[in-house]
Each structure stands twice: as C-alpha cells, then as structure tokens.
Amino acid sequence: MKSNPIETVIGALVVVAAAVFLYFASNVVGVSGPSDTYTVSASFRSAEGISLGTDVRMAGVKIGTVTSMELSQTTFRAEIDVEIKNNIAIPDDSAIAVTSEGLLGGNFIEIIPGASEFPVENGGEIEDTQGSVSFISLLMKFVSGNE
C-alpha cells in the first residue's frame, strides 16, 4: 500500500482538532475529577423548574450543579443533591432557595450563606430551604384579586 504524506498530515490535523474539541467541551460541561466536589442535600416543597445539571450559585457565581432529584415517599418533598466545589466552604446555617433568573429566564439554586463558623460536611444537609414560586399561580391571584 502506497503512503501519501499529505494524507498523513491531514489525518494528524483531524486527530489534533478532535482532541482540542474534547478538551473545550469538557471544560464547558464542567467535567472534573471525583475529588473536586462534595455533596450537600436539601428538601424542597417545590422544585419546579429545576432539573439535573441545573446551576448552583452563590452571589451570582456558579459553585456547583444539581446531581440528583427524587420525590421522598414519606414526606412527599423533592429531595435534591448538589455537588459543590471543594474550595467553597458553605456555613452550616446557610439557606438554599430555588430562584428565577428573571421573568422569562430559567430557574437555578441559590445558596445564601449563613454566619456559622462550621461548614457543611460532605453528605450534609441544608435545612433552611425555599421552594420555587409558580409564576402562573401568582398571576392568577393578581388577576382574580384574591389574596
């Protein structure tokens, strides 16, 4: 079989381009090693608008993502697990809320830091939660004049 140097160079460029694409794609998605994060859980009355991969933010800065969501069979509340970057120490008296990005924007999880000196441990729970507010129900209350 005859080898053409141009085909070899083009093949090498394709492999390099694929490697660069995978590198940038992993950075955008946020793929990281298993030791870069720790898990915190919370229980919400309503987690409307939240799904796996939703941003977790503190002061507007992304510090983690939602990794697990399920309905508790005993309390009928949404049990959510979030992964937080290891270099962010969240005080154990912090609050966590489902917040909207705006009138037409999506929802995200916001952590409001407390004043405790002790951080939430890996696998710990944030107990002060605020679920999402349905925009449609607020609009219906306003239109109907009901409080």
Q: What is the pLDDT at residue 33?
A: 52
Q: What is the pLDDT at residue 32?
A: 55
Helix and strand totals (H; E) in the chain: 2, 8
Give the start-to-end residue ranges of the domains of the chain: 1-31, 34-141
What is the CA angle 93-97-100, rounded to 5? Answer: 155
The contacts of residue 100 (CB under 8 Å, 6+ apart) are 49, 106, 107, 132, 133, 135
Q: Record the pTM.
A: 0.67
- Per-residue model confidence as pLDDT tens digits over 1-48: 567 888 888 989 999 999 989 888 877 666 555 558 999 999 999 888
